[in-house]
Amino acid sequence: MKAAVVYEYGQPIETVDAHLGEVGPNDVRVAIRASGLCHSDVSVQTGALPFPLPMILGHEGAGVVEAVGDAVTTCVPGDHVVLSALIHCGICDNCVKGRPNLCFWGLNTIFGGRNPDGSLRARDAQGRELYQFSSIGTLAEELVCHEKHAIPIPRDVSFEAACLTGCGVLTGLSAVLNRARVEAGKSVVVIGCGGVGLNVIQGAVLASAGMIVAVDLNETKLDMARRFGATHTLNAATVGSIPDAVRELTGGFGADYVFEVVGVPELVRQGWDSLRIDGTLTVIGVHPSTSEAILPAGEFATSEKTLMSCLYGTSRPTKDIPLAVELYRQGRLKLDELVTHHFSLDQINDAVATMNRGTDARGVVVFDG
* 10 pLDDT higher than 80: yes
pLDDT at residue number 287: 85
Q: Tell me the sheet residues that pair with 29.
A: 67, 144
pLDDT at residue number 360: 77
- Based on the fold, state whether residues 175 and 62 are members of the same structural domain: no
pLDDT at residue number 39: 86
Whichever domain contains 118, its CATH number is 3.90.180.10
The answer to the question of residue 326 being in a domain is: no
pLDDT tens for residues 333-353? 999 999 999 999 999 999 999
pLDDT at residue number 313: 93
pLDDT at residue number 286: 87
The answer to the question of residue 329 being in a domain is: no
- Based on the fold, state whether residues 173 and 199 are members of the same structural domain: yes
- Based on the fold, state whether residues 10 and 81 are members of the same structural domain: yes
- Based on the fold, state whether residues 141 and 30 are members of the same structural domain: yes
pLDDT (average), residues 107-123: 94
Q: Using the 8-state DSSP alphabet, how is residue 196 labeled?
A: T
d(CA 336, CA 227): 13
d(CA 366, CA 134): 20
**Torsion angle in degrees (nearest 10) through CA of 22, 28, 29, 32:** -150
The answer to the question of residue 318 being in a domain is: no
The answer to the question of residue 323 being in a domain is: no
pLDDT tens for residues 293-303? 999 999 999 99
pLDDT at residue number 357: 85
Helix, strand, coil % over all residues of the chain, rounded to 5: 35, 25, 40
Domain count, the chain: 2
Domain span at 351:
2-166+335-366
pLDDT band at 177 (very low <50, low <70, confident <90, very high): very high
* 356 pLDDT higher than 90: no
Q: Using the 8-state DSSP alphabet, how is residue 13 labeled?
A: P
- Based on the fold, state whether residues 20 and 160 are members of the same structural domain: yes
- Based on the fold, state whether residues 180 and 47 are members of the same structural domain: no
Whichever domain contains 257, its CATH number is 3.40.50.720
d(CA 240, CA 229): 24
pLDDT (average), residues 193-217: 97
- Based on the fold, state whether residues 232 and 145 are members of the same structural domain: no
The answer to the question of residue 74 being in a domain is: yes
The answer to the question of residue 31 being in a domain is: yes
- Based on the fold, state whether residues 82 and 130 are members of the same structural domain: yes
Angle at 208 between CA 206 and CA 212, to 5 degrees: 95
- Based on the fold, state whether residues 44 and 178 are members of the same structural domain: no
pLDDT at residue number 257: 98
Question: Among residues of the chain, what percentage have pLDDT more than 90?
Answer: 92
Q: Which long-range contacts (CB under 8 A, 24 or more apart) does 118-122 make?
A: 119/21, 119/24, 120/21, 121/20, 121/21, 121/27, 121/145, 122/3, 122/18, 122/19, 122/20, 122/21, 122/56
Cis peptide bond upstream of 54, omega within 30: yes
- Based on the fold, state whether residues 177 and 304 are members of the same structural domain: yes
Enter the pTM of the model. Answer: 0.94
pLDDT at residue number 369: 64
Q: CA 86, 88, 93, 96 torsion: positive or negative? A: positive
The answer to the question of residue 70 being in a domain is: yes
The answer to the question of residue 35 being in a domain is: yes
Helix/strand/coil for 19: strand
pLDDT at residue number 311: 94
Residue 39, C-beta contacts closer than 8 angstroms, at least 6 positions apart: 194, 263, 286, 355
Summary mean pLDDT of the chain: 95
* Contact by Cβ (8 Å): 276, 304: no
d(CA 306, CA 309): 10
- Based on the fold, state whether residues 205 and 162 are members of the same structural domain: no
Q: Tell me the sheet residues that pair with 36.
A: 364
pLDDT tens for residues 250-279? 999 999 999 999 999 999 999 999 999 999
* 307 pLDDT higher than 80: yes
Residue 184, C-beta contacts closer than 8 angstroms, at least 6 positions apart: 207, 208, 209, 210
- Based on the fold, state whether residues 31 and 139 are members of the same structural domain: yes
* Contact by Cβ (8 Å): 360, 340: yes
